[in-house]
Structures are given as structure tokens and as C-alpha cells.
């Protein structure tokens, strides 16, 4: 059970476990991502407001609904990159962007967000939805620091994450914490203190909004800018 001191639960899974679990889930994942998360995706991408000509990365593309929207927003002169650890997810994303006619402006990479292959200062924006909260506690600052490295100095990070900020005692948070501990292979995400983690990693919060998914699950959408040293 999630504890009431607000400590973050750990994620007791190896990268191989996560890969296998998302490989299995990829067969039906388009349903929750495409339908249930539609409002969350629209709000997240609206806050990030990707402009034509930008170079944007999505971390943890899943079945590609957001990446397709990002590719549409960057237009012919921009570029949308996507990284994911699970080949099956990338396969579905590839088909989706191809069907939308955006393959010429999309690049997909199979790899780990803790060590990304991109050069320093490459991206105008990086987007992450329902993904930061699945990294284990020591890995979250690693991922955020890696994103800071590849963002332009005036770039922005958009995160949509299950949150427990101000909601530690809520029934949903307690239930999700219990589920995460019972079946981590399926409920591998857990609610986190999104804003604090982002600030601690050296970003300044520019925009923040709560989004209640399906009238029960609290998500927080944050747009943040890297602080310069
Ligand atoms: C919960 S899904 C979210 C998918 C999509 N962003 C959405 O909004 O529904 C998390 C995604 O992150 C990917 N992932 C998990 N660990 C990763 C890692 N270390 N590096 C890159 N991607 C990872 C999974 O394969 C999966 O596609």
C-alpha cells in the first residue's frame, strides 16, 4: 500500500521485464491510448504548443497517437522523433505515421531513454506522456537530466504524468499504489510528485494543469524550461 508520508513507490522491474510487458500490452494498448487518453493527449499537446519547423522528440511513443499529432504540428519543415524501448510499440507507431503520410518527417529509434543517442541541444521540445512515472525512483532524475542535455537552452519539456501531488490520501491513489505493488508487470506506472521531480532536476515550471482522467485518475500536465547553470 502506498505510504502516507508521500514517499514514492519503487518499480521492481528490469528493463527486460518492462520491454516484455509492453510487448504483450502492445496488442491492445491502442485502445486505452487512442480512446481513454484522448482528452489528456489533446490538453498535453495544447500546453506544449508545437510550432511548424520545430524539431521535437517524444519519449515512450507507445502506439503513436501523440507522435502523429506532433508530426502534423511540425509540418514539412520540422522533424518529429520518437524513442521507445519496445519494438512492438515502435512497429505500431511506424504504421500509424506512415498511414498519415508523415514518414518523411518522422524518425523512430529503439532505445532506452536513460541513454539517448541524440546530440546535445538538438530539440526545441521533448514530450513524455504516461511514461516518466514508470521509471524507477533513481532513474527519474537520470531521464530528466538526459532530456535537459538534448534540449536547446530555450527548449521546453512537456510531461503528462499520473500525480499524487496534494492527493496522497485519495482512494484512487491508494488503490493504484496497491495495484502497482500486486501486479507491477501491468500497473508498472505509479503516481509521482511530478512538479517537484522536474524542479529538482533543474527546470523551471512554465505551465501546469491538473487533468482528471475518466473523472477519477489525477494526471498533471507540466511544461518546463531548463535552467541554465
Ligand atoms: C505507459 S506507455 C505510454 C505510451 C504513450 N506515451 C501514451 O501516452 O499512452 C509507456 C511507454 O514507454 C516505453 N518505455 C518504457 N521504458 C522505456 C525506456 N527505458 N526507454 C524508452 N521507452 C520506454 C514503453 O515501451 C511504452 O511504450
**Confidence (pLDDT) at 49:** 98
177 contacts 168 by C-beta, under 8 angstroms: no
Residue 178 within a domain: no
Could you tell me which residue, 17 or 168, shows the higher pLDDT? 17
Banded pLDDT at 186 (limits 50, 70, 90): confident
Q: Is residue 131 part of a domain?
A: yes
- Would 179 be classed as within a structural domain? no
Q: Say how many domains are in the chain.
A: 1
Pocket of ligand 1 (CB under 6 A): 18, 22, 33, 37, 60, 62, 66, 83-86, 89, 112-114, 129-131, 134, 189
Domain contains 9 = no
Report CA(76)–ligand 1 centroid distance (Å). Answer: 26
Check pLDDT > 80 for residue 86. Answer: yes
Query: Is 75 among the domain residues?
Result: yes
Closest C-alpha to ligand 1, atom 9: 33
Ligand 1 center–CA 229 separation, angstroms: 30
| Cβ count within 10 A of residue 138 | 8
Is position 64 within any domain? Answer: yes
pLDDT 10s digits, 134-153:
999 999 999 999 999 999 99
CA-nearest of 82, 144, 159 to 118 is 82
> How far is the C-alpha of 89 from the C-alpha of 60, rounded, in Å?
9
pLDDT of residue 31: 83
Q: What is the CATH number of the domain that holds 155?
A: 3.40.50.150
**pLDDT for the residue numbered 189:** 80
Q: What angle do CA 72, 100, 104 make, to 5 degrees?
A: 70
Q: Is residue 187 part of a domain?
A: no
Whole-prediction pTM value?
A: 0.93
In a domain, residue 222? The reply is yes
Reading the block at residue 14, the C-alpha cell is 528490469
pLDDT band at 9 (very low <50, low <70, confident <90, very high): confident
Condensed to tens digits (0 to 9), the pLDDT of residues 33-70 reads 878 888 999 999 999 999 999 999 999 999 999 999 99
215: containing domain = 15-166+193-226
Amino acid at each position: 500500500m502506498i505510504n502516507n508520508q508521500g514517499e514514492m513507490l519503487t518499480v521492481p522491474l528490469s528493463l527486460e521485464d518492462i520491454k516484455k510487458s509492453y510487448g504483450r500490452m502492445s496488442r491492445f494498448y491502442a485502445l486505452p491510448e487512442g480512446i481513454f487518453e484522448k482528452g489528456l493527449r489533446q490538453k498535453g499537446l495544447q500546453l506544449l504548443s508545437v510550432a511548424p519547423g520545430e524539431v521535437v522528440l517524444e519519449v515512450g511513443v507507445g502506439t503513436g497517437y501523440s507522435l502523429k499529432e506532433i508530426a502534423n504540428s511540425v509540418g514539412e519543415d520540422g522533424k518529429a522523433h520518437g524513442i521507445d524501448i519496445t519494438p512492438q510499440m515502435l512497429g505500431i507507431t511506424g504504421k500509424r505515421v506512415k498511414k498519415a503520410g508523415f514518414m518523411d518527417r518522422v524518425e523512430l529509434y529503439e532505445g532506452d531513454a536513460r541513454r539517448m543517442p541524440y546530440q546535445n541541444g538538438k530539440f526545441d521540445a521533448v514530450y513524455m506522456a504516461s511514461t516518466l512515472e514508470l521509471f524507477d525512483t533513481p532513474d527519474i532524475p537520470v531521464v530528466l537530466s538526459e532530456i535537459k542535455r538534448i534540449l536547446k537552452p530555450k527548449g521546453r519539456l512537456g510531461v503528462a504524468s499520473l500525480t499524487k501531488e496534494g492527493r496522497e490520501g485519495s482512494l484512487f491513489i491508494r488503490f493504484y499504489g496497491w495495484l502497482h505493488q500486486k501486479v507491477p508487470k501491468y500497473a508498472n506506472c505509479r503516481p509521482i510528485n511530478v512538479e517537484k521531480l522536474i524542479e529538482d532536476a533543474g527546470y523551471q515550471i512554465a505551465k501546469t494543469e491538473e487533468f482528471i482522467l475518466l473523472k477519477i485518475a489525477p494526471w498533471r500536465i507540466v511544461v518546463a524550461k531548463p535552467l541554465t547553470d
